[in-house]
Structure 1
Amino acid sequence: MAARIPAEVFPPGEFLKDELEARGWTQIEFAEIIGKDTRLVSEIIGGKRTITPETAIVFGEALGTGPELWMNLESQYQLSKVRPSGQISIAKKAELHSKFPVREMIKRGWIEATKSVDVLERQLLDFFGMESIDSTPTFMHAAKKKSYDETSLQQLAWLCRARSLAFAAPVDKFSESKLSHAIMELREKVEFVDTTRDVATVLSRAGIRFVVVEGLAGSKIDGACFWLDKTAPVIAMSLRFDRVDNFWHTLFHELDHVKHKEGMSQPIIEIDIQSNEQKPEHEIRANDAAADTLIPTKELEGFIARVNPFFSDEAVMGFANRLRVHPGVVVGQLHNRGVLPWSFHRKKLEKIREYVLESALVDGFGRMVNLTDIH
C-alpha cells in the first residue's frame, strides 16, 4: 500500500510559532526557558534552520510534546521538498522497470537510455503499441485472455521487435504455390550446415519474411509465426539452440503454420518446440509435419527397427547419406523419440548460427539494428 502524502507540508517553525502564541510567550522568553540563543529560535521559526535531535529534546521538554513530534515534523518537511521532483518519478520508473524488461531493451538498442521517466514511458508505449501502461499490447489484440496471461513481457518484447524488423525485410509477393516450392527447395538444403545461409533468400522469393532476433534473458523462445497482414507471413527465430537439428525442425514447423494460415489472429509462439507434451493439436500437427518433411516417418521407423539399440556412427551416417539429410537431423529425431540417449552422437549436432546470420535480417548476437536506417 502506498504511503499517504500530505497535500502541503509546513516547516516546523510554523508549529513552534503557533505554540508560543498559544502560551503567550515571546521568542526571547522561550529562548531563556530552553537555554538557547534567541537567534536559534528565530531562525527555526523563519525556516532557515533545521531541528536537530538536541533541539527536539529541549522543545519537547519545554512544550510537553516529547521530542518525537519535532523530529517527525522536520523529517516530513525535508521529504516534502524533494518529493515532487523525486519520489513520484522514482516510483513510476520502478513500476516501469518491474513490468517491462527495460534494462535489456536499452542494452539491445530497442529503446534509448533516458533520465526522464516521461520519455521512458512514451518509448515503451510506442514500442508495444499501447495507449497506456495498464493496457494490453496491440500485438495480442485478438488473443484470448488466457493466451495473454501465458505470454511473458520478455516474449512480447521479442515479438514486437521481430515485427518491427519484419517490416524492413525485402520480399516478393506471397502465394501458396511459392510456399510449396520453397518447402521443396529448402528440403534439398538440409544435407549441409552451410546451406542454412540460403534460407532467407529462398523464403524471400516465396514472399515470407524471415527475421532472427536474439531472445531476451528468460524468454525461452525458439521461434514464432505471425502475419503483418493476410498476405504477409513472418517467420521469426531466436536461434537460442545453435544446432542443425533444432534449426531445420523449427523452420519447417513454422512453415507448416504458414501453410495452414495460422498466426493471423494472434502470433504463435514456440517454446520447447520439438516436444508434443501438453500441446494443442495444431502444434502436434506442425511438429509431425516438420519431422516427416526432414525424414519420412516410415523411413525413420524402419531404420530404428533395423538398428535399435546399436546406433553406430556408420549406421547413422549411412542412413543420413541415403536420405540426403545432415546426420545431426537424424540424431536429433532419435533423441526426441527417446531411442537414443541425449549424450550420444552430440558432435553431429553441428552449429549453424554463423551461416544463418550471413543473409538473414538480424537483431542481436552483437548486432544492433537502427530501424530508422532500414525502413
Structure 2
Amino acid sequence: MANDNQVAIEPPGVFIKMELESRGWSQRDLAFILGQTEQQLNPLLSGKRGITPDMARLLGDAFDTSPQFFLNLQGRYDLQNAKEPDPAVKTRAGLQAHFPVRDMIRRGWVQDGEASLLQLQMDRFFEVANDEMPGEIAFAAKRTHYNDTPPHQLAWVFRARQLARQATVSPYSADMLKALLPKLRTLMVDPEAVASVPGLLAACGVRFVVVEVLPNAKIDGACTWLDDASPVIAISTLYDRLDNFWFVLRHEIEHVLQGHGKHSIGMIDYLTGESIGDENSEEDEENVANAAAADFCVPTAKMASFYARKNPYFSERDVVGFAALMAIHPAIVVGQLQKRMKRYDYLRKYQVPVRRYLLKEAIADGWGNAVEVHL
C-alpha cells in the first residue's frame, strides 16, 4: 500500500504507452518489434503483468536504452505496492543487535511474541525504560578481553538480579557476613557441604543464586546490589570444581564486604584459568578480592612455604597430608598447585564436581530448569 506522503507510482506499462505515443508507434508496432502478438503484450501495458528480466532486455533493445531502466521502473512500482512488513521484524532486529534475544527466549527468560510485548519484556528484564541502554558493568580480571559490555554477560547478570528478588533473606549485616567466614572455612573439607551455603548467606542478608551461562559467555561469578543494602552473589559453576567454587565464592564475598559494584550493575568475574590468584590484576578491587580468596582457600604464607619446600616434586601423599593439615579437601590444594605449575592435569582425580549439591538448595536457573519470573 502506498504511503500517504508518497507520490503514487504508475505501473511500467503506463510509461511504455507514453513512449509509444511520443514515437508515433502503436501497440501493434511494438508487438511486431518485440516479435510478440498484441494479446501477449496487453497484460504488460495494462499493468497486470510485471516486467521480467527477459522482457527488460527486449524493451531495452526496442527503445535503445538500458534494460536496467525498465527493471528499476518495475522494482519501484513493486516496492511501493508491497505488503507492509510486520513491525515485529524491526523490533526483533533492533533487540538482537544489542542482546542475545534468541538465547534468552530459549532459556525462558523472555517469551517470544508480538513486537510491543517483546520490547516491554526486554525493557523490564534490563530494568530500563524507553530507549535507554542498561548501565555499564565493572568487569573483572579478564577485562582486557572485551572492548565493551558483552551482551551475553549483561543478560546473565540481569537474570541473576531477577532471580535474587525471589529470595527471602534477613536484613544484610556485614558483621554477620564477616563472622560467617570461619564457619564457611570448616565446610571446605566436605564437597556436599556446599549445599548449606545458600542458607548461611541468607541468614546474613546475602542473596545467592546459581545461573548457567549463555553460549559464548565466560563468567564465574558476580556481585551485584539490588539496592545499597541488598547484596547478591551469583555464580555460574562454569567450571564445576570444588576449588573453583570456594575461590569464586570467597572472591564475591569480599566484593560484598567492600561494597564493590554498588554504583554500577555490579562486578562480573571470570577468574578461572590464568586469572585465578593472579596478583598482577589491573583492578585494585580485583586485587583485594583475589587476595582474600586465595588466603581463605589456603593461607598464602603456608601455601608458599609448602610449595617452596616440595617444588618441583609434589607427591600425592604430600598433597593429601598438607590438605589434612589445612583442614580442607585435597581438591583445594590441587587447584592451587595446578595454577602454580601450569599443569592442569596434575592429580585431576581429586577435582570434585559440586553443582549437583548446590542445585538442591539454591535458587538456580539452567541445566534444563527455567525459573518462571513474571516481567
TM-score by length of 1: 0.86
In structure 2, how many angstroms separate the alpha carbons of the residues matched to 1:160 and 1:127? 7
For the pair 1:12 / 2:12, whether they are aligned, the reply is yes
Q: Report how far residue 26 of structure 1 moved.
A: 4.4
Q: Report how far residue 149 of structure 1 moved.
A: 5.0
Higher RCO structure (Cα 8 Å, ≥6 apart)? 2
Q: Report how far residue 328 of structure 1 moved.
A: 0.6
In structure 2, how many angstroms separate the alpha carbons of the residues matched to 1:35 and 1:56? 14
What secondary structure is seen at the aligned counterpart in 2 of 1:224?
strand
Give the RMSD, CA atoms, in angstroms: 2.8
Q: Report the equivalent of 1:49.
A: 49
Q: What code does the residue aligned with 2:319 have?
A: V
Q: Report how far residue 71 of structure 1 moved.
A: 2.8
- Out of 184, 187, 195, which is 1:186 matched to? 184
Flag the 1:23–1:309 CA change in 2: closer, same or farther, 3 A: same
Kept after mapping to 2: 8 A contact 1:130/1:138:
no
Q: Report the equivalent of 1:216.
A: 214
Kept after mapping to 2: 8 A contact 1:239/1:353:
yes
Flag the 1:119–1:299 CA change in 2: closer, same or farther, 3 A: same
Flag the 1:240–1:9 CA change in 2: closer, same or farther, 3 A: farther
Q: What code does the residue aligned with 1:328 have?
A: A
Q: Report the equivalent of 1:249.
A: 247
Flag the 1:61–1:342 CA change in 2: closer, same or farther, 3 A: closer
Where do 5+ consecutive residues of structure 1 fail to align? 1-5
Q: What code does the residue aligned with 2:268 have?
A: I
Q: Report the equivalent of 1:279.
A: 282
For the pair 1:304 / 2:307, whether they are aligned, the reply is yes
Q: Report how far residue 138 of structure 1 moved.
A: 4.0
- Out of 191, 197, 205, which is 1:207 matched to? 205
For the pair 1:112 / 2:114, whether they are aligned, the reply is no
Q: What code does the residue aligned with 2:159 have?
A: R
Kept after mapping to 2: 8 A contact 1:40/1:49:
no
Q: Report the equivalent of 1:64.
A: 64
User: Which structure 1 residue ranges, 4+ long, deviate > 6 Å from structure 2?
Assistant: none
Where do 5+ consecutive residues of structure 2 fail to align? 1-5
Q: Report how far residue 220 of structure 1 moved.
A: 0.7
In structure 1, how many angstroms separate the alpha carbons of the residues matched to 2:88 and 2:61? 39
Q: Report the equivalent of 1:270.
A: 269
In structure 2, how many angstroms separate the alpha carbons of the residues matched to 1:289 and 1:140? 22
What secondary structure is seen at the aligned counterpart in 1 of 2:251?
helix
Q: What code does the residue aligned with 2:38 have?
A: T
Q: Report how far residue 33 of structure 1 moved.
A: 4.7
Q: Report the equivalent of 1:363.
A: 365
What secondary structure is seen at the aligned counterpart in 2 of 1:74?
helix
Q: What code does the residue aligned with 1:75 have?
A: G
Kept after mapping to 2: 8 A contact 1:128/1:139:
no
In structure 1, how many angstroms separate the alpha carbons of the residues matched to 2:82 and 2:88? 11
Flag the 1:62–1:240 CA change in 2: closer, same or farther, 3 A: same
Kept after mapping to 1: 8 A contact 2:224/2:233:
yes
Kept after mapping to 2: 8 A contact 1:139/1:160:
no
Flag the 1:15–1:303 CA change in 2: closer, same or farther, 3 A: same
Kept after mapping to 1: 8 A contact 2:225/2:262:
yes
Q: Report how far residue 366 of structure 1 moved.
A: 1.4
Q: What code does the residue aligned with 1:60 have?
A: G
Kept after mapping to 1: 8 A contact 2:34/2:62:
yes
After superposition, residues 81-100 of structure 1 pair within 5 angstroms as 81-82=81-82, 84-85=84-85, 90=89, 93-100=92-99
Q: Report how far residue 173 of structure 1 moved.
A: 1.1
Aligned residues: 360
Q: Report how far residue 20 of structure 1 moved.
A: 2.7
- Out of 121, 124, 138, which is 1:126 matched to? 124
Q: Report the equivalent of 1:3.
A: none
Q: What code does the residue aligned with 1:123 have?
A: Q
TM-score by length of 2: 0.86
Flag the 1:44–1:119 CA change in 2: closer, same or farther, 3 A: farther
Q: What code does the residue aligned with 1:281 have?
A: D
For the pair 1:347 / 2:349, whether they are aligned, the reply is yes
Kept after mapping to 2: 8 A contact 1:212/1:360:
yes
Q: Report how far residue 66 of structure 1 moved.
A: 4.0
Q: Report the equivalent of 2:3.
A: none
Q: Report the equivalent of 1:290.
A: 293
In structure 2, how many angstroms separate the alpha carbons of the residues matched to 1:33 and 1:295? 93
Kept after mapping to 1: 8 A contact 2:210/2:362:
yes
Q: Report the equivalent of 1:261.
A: 259
What secondary structure is seen at the aligned counterpart in 2 of 1:188?
helix
State the identity %.
38
What secondary structure is seen at the aligned counterpart in 2 of 1:211?
strand
